[in-house]
Structure 1
Amino acid sequence: MLVALVVLSAVLILRRRWDPIHSIPTIGYSAPVLSYYSAFKFLRNARQMVEEGYARHKVFKIAAWDRWMVYVSGPEMNDELRRLPDDVASIEEAIQEEMYSEYSFGAREYDLTILAIHGLLVRDLSGVIPTVVDEVVLVLEELFPQEFDWVELTNLPSFMSNAVARIINRVFIGAPVCRETGYLTIVTTYVTDVIKAKVILDLLPNILKPLVGNVLPWRARATRHLKHYLGETIAHHQASLNEDCNDCKEKPNDFLMRIVKGAQDLEGSMETILINILMANFTAVHTSSATATATLFQLASQPESIAALREDILSAIRAEGWTRGSVNSMWKLDSFLKETLRWQGLSIAGLRRKVLKTATFSDGTVVPDGVHIYAAPAATHHDSTLYEDADTFKPFRFSDKREQVGQSTKHQFVNTSPEYLVFGHGKHACPGRFFAAIVIKIFISNLLLKYDVKMGGDGSLPENVMIGASAIMSPNAKVLFRRRQVVDA
């Protein structure tokens, strides 16, 4: 027995030495049992652990419950990571595995959202701006307080999730369905359901994940309820694809039509269309509402910036109304948004990839297949070698830079770089960022022209709660709004 234990120990030690993952520096513990303590610690101290690794190593690893997470540090390593070929490091495989997409959204071959986004929300983005403006005006009139005294909105993150979902779905599926409370509940609740599924499956051994994942009820329930609201509209879109359709005087040319057409080409079912609507909402509503909420928190805690922002907004719309050009010319607002996401650091993991073939970095680090690699956006954005006064919120940091010769486009909100990773970087950068930026700018600019805003309590910025690599914005923060008696136009 003793000999067997000695042999087994020797084998484990040798195996550990031969596995390249163990040559990568560890933040926390790397021993088999103690690493679970580090994984537990990561849930509440993820940002501190990543920042420690960023300060000490070019490449480092942190233990998760069922895998090692490898992080790279700094712009040079960020650029190396994003340039890894897709057959070496895959973003699709990383997202599929991390979010358990096969259980939440189904087979990847039926993912039509990227094509629809490129078709309408990138190439034809100018055409959706009047629709967005129209819905934003209605949202402010119907959902926001109309009193000329200060009114507190409770649970602002939840409130904004519904408001932004309504604006986005005016483009996705049109009115009046986008205003239906039941419809909005479905698409916003499903974001939470996907996260719940991830938490549950993360805690299970791999052998049990398919068994549990396939019986989780939320996808079937969501598509069943969604069909009640969209079934008739989808049927009309499907009929309009038939050239012999006599009742289709005008064929729709909206986001939903691109999903319906894609599903028909793939011989997909009604469920295919409904799942793609859920997927589009999961991505767009979650990120856009989080950005809008973070911006409102920042504005409310720093109201001295509002006068300059209003002047910036008015100058743009007086020149040419609500157009893509006028929205893009709001440099100060653009800068405020970009600085908000740099400063608040809503995610500590970016450029996520799953290694499919052994990857070797320029510093000699070898990462074996099967491992997930990330950049560290929050740590990068607070790097004092990259940003002057990195630990200070400067609302017009980027608009000031754009005033310099040859820098007018480099520092735009939607531009990505190895130093700014909010939307990823490289060919896999978020394709929906142009649409998201337009929606958020139009919403914030209209709100600032019609409302004053301030933070309640002591007026300080509310702290985010970190759960693993994600930031949860405070539902208890007191933000007050007051309708302006004189609205500039």
Structure 2
Amino acid sequence: MSPISLTPLSQALSLGAIFLLTLVIPKFIRWRARMNKLNAIPTVGSSGFFSSYESARRYKEHAREIILEGYQKYPGQAFKIPHVDRWEVIVSGKEMIEDMKKASDMDLSFEEAARETLQSDYTLGAAPAQDPYHITVVRTPLTRNLGARFDDIREEIVLAMEDQIPAKASEWIKVPMLYTTMKIISRTSNRFFVGAPLCRDPDYINLNIEYTVNAVMGAQTLRRYPTILKPIVRQLKTNVPASVKRATKHLEPLILERLRKEEEYGSSEWPDKPNDLISWLLDEAQGERRKNIVYNIVARVLNINFGAIHTTSITFTSSLFHLASNPELVQTLREEVEPIVKELGWTKAAMGQMRKLDSFMKETQRLSGNIGATSMGRMALRDFTFSNGTVIPAGTIVCVAAYAMNRDDEIYEEADKLNPFRFSDMRAQEGESTKHQMAGADPSYVLFGGGRHMCPGRFFAVNELKALLAHVLVTYDLKFENGGEYPPDEWRGAGVSPSRSTMVMFRKRVA
């Protein structure tokens, strides 16, 4: 019998059937199984195939309200919200948060969540995402050298404030607060990171301010494209490559000079070696990490600035807004700051004694929600089951309803009111003196995240903020024009910032 010959049409149909059986159908089965698990989690908004897109559009303008609705409707549980390209699961309650903190990186991954939400391989750089040794640098030498370098930070605060808030005792001046704050903090942070005079270079200051915006906007653009096109989109449709090029122009001479010194002395230790971020990164970057070293150091300096400038500027600005709208607090805080500085000077040790100032800062962030509506984003790398039985399918991002928790009367008494010394009063109780600090771990307060991925730069950020606010308190009087109230925060999706246009009035204080 002769073999059966297939027509071209029959061959095409056979190949199509094989394709369906081996690729499409298994993929559909996996998708269906994942959706069954997601469908078991209640939705805030619509979960219909088409109607969920309308809910995702609404989320861009009303994320805070939507998350508050879910938090109140499903207390201590999980709920999901639709985005245009994915579902996001929001959780609350101490038990679920503890489950997230204890989860291994193989179950709930901070890095993979950042890769998805920030498109970090393309915005913050693939090398820092794949080998984040800069986190080790922030956690250890950067934090350890805070005390030794505090004089430099203090000096730059004084000089930056004089430049950006040139107030006189004889008259009030208006200052556009948020952008001014960003310039002060970029300069102060980079005095610690890269030293003077680079920290004062106007282009370098603006670069670090703009890089955060470029990275976030670039991530929004990149998420709309398939992975294969993202390298091209990064080059053509984002400002990230231009930011890296500008940073390289400023940092490459410093990096090459350090490398030349190492070669000259045959050691990573040499006379008058700067005690700064570039040196700490080079010390950590040994062996294979020395490949493409200039780019790798530049990318990590930008990464650290990304984390340091934006969030610290938001926190500082909202704290100033609360002081301007509550002038009675200024004298109380001065009465704490001035005796401590007189005794201990402008030192890290002095900052540690300022409990009321620490409490005020922590309370303003609790109330203003300047971490945004959610915190502690993680991606499930495999199906993850919470203690209460909730299953998060692999590939899903899960977050904590941080803003809603901060406004919960069952967690904080009169949660919608500013109680500036809420946390210092807690610390005054027996056995609580080392708890409730802004930089400390607190299951109900997730400004800096939690677990192993709690922000490694929080000790630097809190000490810098205290030094900035203490300097304002002893140097200036401040107020809103016509005794104005705290201006409404500006929400974009789940992100928030203090009012960008609000002015604060300053006058040089006469002691």
TM range (shorter): over 0.9
For this pair of structures, how many residues does the alignment match? Answer: 475
Quote the residue 1:3 is aligned against: none
Change (3 A) 1:147 1:26: same
* Matched residue type, 1:268: K
What SS is found at the alignment partner of 1:352? strand
Does residue 32 (structure 1) correspond to residue 49 (structure 2)? The answer is yes
Which of 70, 83, 91 is the equivalent residue of 1:53? 70
Task: After TM superposition, list the pairs within 5 Å mapping 1:177-188 onto structure 2.
Answer: 177-188=198-209
In 1, the alpha carbon distance for the partners of 2:257 and 2:237 equals 31
What SS is found at the alignment partner of 1:452? strand
Quote the residue 2:183 is aligned against: 162
Judge conservation of contact 2:221–2:238 (CA < 8 Å) in 1. no
Does residue 407 (structure 1) correspond to residue 429 (structure 2)? The answer is no
Quote the residue 1:461 is aligned against: 486
Quote the residue 1:268 is aligned against: 291
Which of 297, 304, 315 is the equivalent residue of 2:321? 297
Change (3 A) 1:473 1:234: same
How far off its partner does 1:245 sit? 6.0
Structure 1 window deviating more from structure 2 (211-220 vs 415-424): it is 211-220
Unmatched segments (≥5 aa) in structure 1: 1-7
Alignment TM-score, normalising by the size of structure 1: 0.93
Unmatched segments (≥5 aa) in structure 2: 1-24
* Matched residue type, 1:301: S
Does residue 102 (structure 1) correspond to residue 127 (structure 2)? The answer is no
How far off its partner does 1:232 sit? 2.1
Change (3 A) 1:244 1:121: closer
In 1, the alpha carbon distance for the partners of 2:217 and 2:322 equals 29
Judge conservation of contact 2:377–2:400 (CA < 8 Å) in 1. yes
Structure 1 window deviating more from structure 2 (309-318 vs 263-272): it is 263-272
Which of 309, 313, 322 is the equivalent residue of 1:285? 309
Change (3 A) 1:217 1:42: closer
Quote the residue 1:228 is aligned against: 249
Quote the residue 2:504 is aligned against: 479
Judge conservation of contact 1:27–1:52 (CA < 8 Å) in 2. yes
Quote the residue 2:341 is aligned against: 317
How far off its partner does 1:461 sit? 0.5
What are the Cα deviations for residues 212-270 of structure 1, in whole angstroms up to 9, with x where unaligned? 23544533322222232222221221123236369953222321111223345402321
Quote the residue 1:153 is aligned against: 175
Task: After TM superposition, list the pairs within 5 Å mapping 1:123-142 onto structure 2.
Answer: 123-142=144-163
Does residue 81 (structure 1) correspond to residue 100 (structure 2)? The answer is yes
Judge conservation of contact 1:110–1:272 (CA < 8 Å) in 2. no
What SS is found at the alignment partner of 2:213? helix
In 2, the alpha carbon distance for the partners of 1:31 and 1:331 equals 50
What SS is found at the alignment partner of 2:376? strand
What are the Cα deviations for residues 287-311 of structure 1, in whole angstroms up to 9, with x where unaligned? 1111111111111111110101001
Judge conservation of contact 1:61–1:69 (CA < 8 Å) in 2. yes
What are the Cα deviations for residues 177-216 of structure 1, in whole angstroms up to 9, with x where unaligned? 1001011111111111001102212344566445423544
Judge conservation of contact 2:325–2:483 (CA < 8 Å) in 1. no
In 2, the alpha carbon distance for the partners of 1:211 and 1:232 equals 29
Judge conservation of contact 2:109–2:380 (CA < 8 Å) in 1. yes
In 2, the alpha carbon distance for the partners of 1:304 and 1:241 equals 55
Does residue 368 (structure 1) correspond to residue 396 (structure 2)? The answer is no
Quote the residue 2:418 is aligned against: 393
How far off its partner does 1:458 sit? 5.1
Judge conservation of contact 1:54–1:74 (CA < 8 Å) in 2. no
In 1, the alpha carbon distance for the partners of 2:168 and 2:34 equals 68
Judge conservation of contact 1:452–1:483 (CA < 8 Å) in 2. yes
Judge conservation of contact 2:164–2:180 (CA < 8 Å) in 1. no
In 1, the alpha carbon distance for the partners of 2:165 and 2:230 equals 43
In 1, the alpha carbon distance for the partners of 2:286 and 2:240 equals 21
In 2, the alpha carbon distance for the partners of 1:257 and 1:17 equals 47
Judge conservation of contact 1:46–1:469 (CA < 8 Å) in 2. yes
* Matched residue type, 1:303: P
In 1, the alpha carbon distance for the partners of 2:497 and 2:274 equals 38
Query: Which protein shows a greater Rg?
Result: 2
In 2, the alpha carbon distance for the partners of 1:308 and 1:146 equals 22
* Matched residue type, 1:281: N
What SS is found at the alignment partner of 1:106? helix
In 1, the alpha carbon distance for the partners of 2:323 and 2:231 equals 45
In 2, the alpha carbon distance for the partners of 1:316 and 1:142 equals 26
In 1, the alpha carbon distance for the partners of 2:135 and 2:40 equals 38
Alignment TM-score, normalising by the size of structure 2: 0.89
Which of 458, 473, 497 is the equivalent residue of 1:448? 473
In 1, the alpha carbon distance for the partners of 2:314 and 2:337 equals 22
Judge conservation of contact 1:75–1:418 (CA < 8 Å) in 2. yes
Does residue 202 (structure 1) correspond to residue 223 (structure 2)? The answer is yes
What are the Cα deviations for residues 297-334 of structure 1, in whole angstroms up to 9, with x where unaligned? 11111111010100111121122112222111101100
What SS is found at the alignment partner of 2:263? coil
Change (3 A) 1:207 1:245: closer
* Matched residue type, 2:42: P
In 1, the alpha carbon distance for the partners of 2:157 and 2:104 equals 41
How far off its partner does 1:146 sit? 2.6
What are the Cα deviations for residues 401-436 of structure 1, in whole angstroms up to 9, with x where unaligned? 111001111111111222010001122100100000
Quote the residue 1:337 is aligned against: 361
